[in-house]
Chains A and B, each alone.
Chain A
Amino acid sequence: MNQPTHNTQSNPVQLYSGPIIAATLSPLLGFYTLMISHHVSRVTKDLDKLVHAFGYWIPGSTGTGPDGSIGSYSGKETLALGVWFLTWLIFHFLWQKQDLPVKRWIPVFLGAIGFVTLCLFHPFIDPILLLLLSSGR
């Protein structure tokens, strides 16, 4: 068994890149979940309620008055956390003993994180969303 260890002094250990790819792909999927659930919640009030329902377990997810609440943001966070943890677990065990190409993954990772960031910026994404919504009708 070639298990990576903390002890490296003289015996070279075979390291697999699968776990680092799993650990970085999963948050990315969480960020995309955050972005998609955010835009879904903006389409109608019913969709906002649907997303919100996932977050009721978070203290302060509902409520009015001066103290306020975080509203459907709680649902978006819950969905993102769920996707992050679940995909991390799955990919980690799938790729634990696999050596995947890190050098090829880095630009994809950077491009994907840059794109999800842009998609969270309303002046960039709203014209595209409006176009998509109007063509869907």
Chain B
Amino acid sequence: MTAEQAIHSNLAKILVRSQAYLALIILLLLAGLDFFFPTHYRLQAGVHGMSAIGSVVAGTYLTHRAYALIRGVHVNFKSLRYWVLASMLLNFLGAVSGNWIYMRYRGEGGPKEWILANAPAFHNYMMEFKEFVTLFPFPLMAAVSFVLYYYGDAIHTRRDLTQFVGIIILVSWMFLLLGFVTGLVLAKLRFV
């Protein structure tokens, strides 16, 4: 590699990383600014929103890793194990903080009351759906984490197992996205 080529590839690496970190920070502001909203429930809102965004980001990144598993190309299982574990923990935090904010949602003068009075379908069809399917990613990623630690690197010798792991990651991501969008819609409709 010539000196010029090295500088160029280094530049690309710096730019890629900067873009990724900047995107993450800006995206996190979507919920991070909830901490400054004029409501008693800003802490619940901020924590739930940020863990939801974190879950979606980690889950989306993992879908790229999932395709490598499905195709059967070389996979760095050590790094994958850390990522699925982190993703599982974020999903858990999202579910716990979701429970926490759901209390206020159902509370006196909370969003549920307002939505039922003004746009009941959003509670009856959307929230009653969202509150359950958003619980799916945590156990799914727990299964993936368990499987990757249990079988270890030897899993690469079984294409059926790695393909299944890839598929579970994709399924989990689908529910993360469903939960994220419905959560945003409900928060836009009536904030806590």
Where the two chains meet, the residues of A that have a C-beta atom closer than 8 Å to any C-beta of B are: 4-8, 12-13, 15, 17, 19-20, 23-24, 26-27, 30-31, 34-35, 38, 58, 60, 63-71, 73-74, 76-77, 80, 84, 102-103, 105-106, 110, 113, 117, 120-123
Contact = CB atoms under 8 A, between A and B. Distances in A.
Interface size class of B (residues with CB under 8 A): 35 or more
Main secondary structure on A side of the interface with B: helix
Interface in B96-148: 99-100, 102-110, 124-125, 128-129, 131-133, 135-136, 139-140, 142-143, 146-147
A102 B160 CA distance: 6
B141 to A, nearest CB: 10
A5 B161 contact: no
Contacts of B110: 66, 68
Contacts of B164: 20, 24, 102, 105-106
Given A17-B161, A70-B106, A103-B160, A121 B153 contact: no
Contacts of A67: 103-104, 107
A13 B156 CA distance: 11
29 contacts: A5-B152, A7-B154, A8-B152, A8-B157, A13-B154, A15-B154, A19-B146, A19-B150, A20-B151, A20-B165, A23-B143, A23-B146, A26-B143, A27-B136, A27-B140, A31-B136, A31-B139, A38-B132, A60-B103, A65-B108, A68-B104, A69-B106, A69-B107, A103-B160, A106-B164, A120-B128, A122-B124, A122-B125, A122-B129
B100 A60 contact: yes
Contact of B154 (A8, A63, A64, A121): A8
A20 B161 contact: yes
A80 to B, nearest CB: 7
A24 B106 contact: no
Contact of B133 (A73, A120, A123): A120
A60 B153 contact: no
Contacts of B125: 121-123
Contacts of B142: 27
Instruction: Give 3 closest A-B pairs by Cβ, nearest first.
Output: A68-B107, A6-B152, A27-B139
A6 B153 contact: yes
Main secondary structure on B side of the interface with A: helix
B86 interface: no
Given A4-B151, A6-B152, A6-B153, A64 B108 contact: yes
Interface in B140-183: 140, 142-143, 146-147, 150-158, 160-161, 163-165, 167-168, 171
A20 B147 contact: yes
A8 B156 contact: yes
Contacts of B153: 6-8
Contact of A113 (B107, B152, B171): B171
A105 B108 CA distance: 46
Contacts of B108: 64-66, 68
B158 to A, nearest CB: 5
Contacts of A24: 143, 164, 168
